[in-house]
Amino acid sequence: VKRVAIIGAGPIGIAAGIGALDRGFDVTLIEKGDAGQALCSWGATRFFTPLRMNITPRMHELLGRDAPPGDALLTGHEMIDLVLKPLTACEPLRGHVRERTRVTAIGRRGLTRADYAGHPLRAERPFRLILNDEEPIEADVVLDATGGFAVPNPIGAGGLPARGEGKLTRKPIRTLGALDEQLESLRGQRVLLVGDGHSAANAVLLLHETAEVIWVVRSMNRRPCEEIANDPLSERARVVSAANDLAENALHVERRCMVEAFDERNGAIEARLTSGRTLICDAVVALTGFHPNGNMHSELNVETSPVTEGAARLSRAIANATDCLAVPRVTFGDLASGEPNFWFIGSRSYGRVRTFLLQTGLAQLEMIFQCL
């Protein structure tokens, strides 16, 4: 029986675990925190997509009568408590999940990345996964579901750190979950919000009644967050349009600029912008995106994209896809990583590409199962 190691128990790792067990593989699902860990950082933010788009019919069936309705727009915490945790606790996944175990490196037993590169002999050696503080494990197939939202991007212009960013004594808030937790402490304060993606739009709605928001956006548009005409995802449309209304009518918005430097004086933070202006604030909320953690694969022959940091072949195949709701048509070859029997799955495979949706990840996972 083939041994399948899956790294990361997010929605995709859990779907992969169930799919692999249903197909008769010997599965170990390894998670550095608790199942669904990444969704804890969403705070009160809801999925834009209804539950039926986020799980497979099989997962729905396993949840039985306790399954939330298919049209539910769950928060991250609800997804963990009502869907992901119950799935790890019931058959077939029960007993196959190792939580609080981090994979720190993966290689082929006894081979460096240069040994037998491209030769069929390489595929005959099992994978070896190094775990923190525990015995390494071996596997015939590895599915990397560690997510694309592992490391926050620096705050400064061009994705580089702003000068002084690392020295701020009041650390910038980097996730919606942390913002949710610290919201009360921001009451009446001047808050510099950086970013114009969906997370920033959510943050504006959370913050505007509590704090004095100064919103720094790269966009030059009066309505800085991208709006999709006739967006079929009503929750996304609501959040983006409400944030843009505030930007147009109520908030202090600094458009077409980024942060160059931070300096702390007398308890306040000075932020120098690329436009030349300097703003004074008490706290910084920086939602400037994330990238995957690429440290584990240095002895594998995986091809990661220099653009997205996701899977290289996939990134070329989806380069022109702009509508995240249309599951892009890809081939088996597009999903291959370059290292036989090693696959990037879920948001890890997309890296920095923002159009990833779970329904796409689930469809691609089905294709990968056909190759195993």
Ligand X SMILES: Cc1cc2nc3c(=O)[nH]c(=O)nc-3n(C[C@H](O)[C@H](O)[C@H](O)COP(=O)(O)OP(=O)(O)OC[C@H]3O[C@@H](n4cnc5c(N)ncnc54)[C@H](O)[C@@H]3O)c2cc1C
Residue selected from 106, 318, 357, 362 as contacting ligand X according to rule CB under 6 A: 357
- Between 45 and 84, how does the x/- string for binding to ligand X read (CB under 6 A)? x-xxx----x------------------------------
**For ligand X, the closer CB: 37 or 244:** 37
The Cα–Cα gap between 157 and 159 comes to 6
What is the DSSP-derived secondary structure letter of residue 68?
P
Candidates 2-10, 106-114, 311-319, 364-372; binding stretch for ligand X (CB under 6 A): 2-10
Shortest distance, position 110 Cβ to ligand X, whole Å: 22
Q: Are 347 and 149 in contact (CB under 8 A)?
A: yes
Task: Please answer whether residues 365 and 23 qualify as being in contact, where contact means their C-beta atoms are separated by less than 8 angstroms.
Answer: no
The helix (H) or strand (E) run that includes residue 220 is none
Positions 94 through 153 that interact with ligand X (CB under 6 A): 102-103, 145-147, 149-150
Helix (H) / strand (E) containing 170:
none
Distance CA 365, CA 346 (A): 8
Q: Write the single-letter amino acid at 24.
A: G
Residue 276 CA to residue 138 CA, distance in Å, equals 55
Looking at 5, 6, 12, 21, which residue binds ligand X (CB under 6 A)?
Answer: 12
Cβ 292 vs Cβ 348: under 8 Å:
yes
Q: Site residues for ligand X, window 251-270 (CB under 6 A)?
A: none
Lookup: tokens for 172 = 């910038």
Choices 85-93, 248-256, 304-312, 344-352; region in contact with ligand X by CB under 6 A: 344-352
For residue 5, report the phi and psi dihedrals to the nearest 5 degrees: -105, 130
> Contact between 358 and ligand X (CB under 6 A)?
yes
Which listed residue (4, 6, 20, 30) binds ligand X by CB under 6 A? 30
Report the interface residues with ligand X, using CB under 6 A: 7-13, 30-33, 37-39, 42, 45, 47-49, 54, 102-103, 145-147, 149-150, 176, 199, 346-348, 356-358, 361
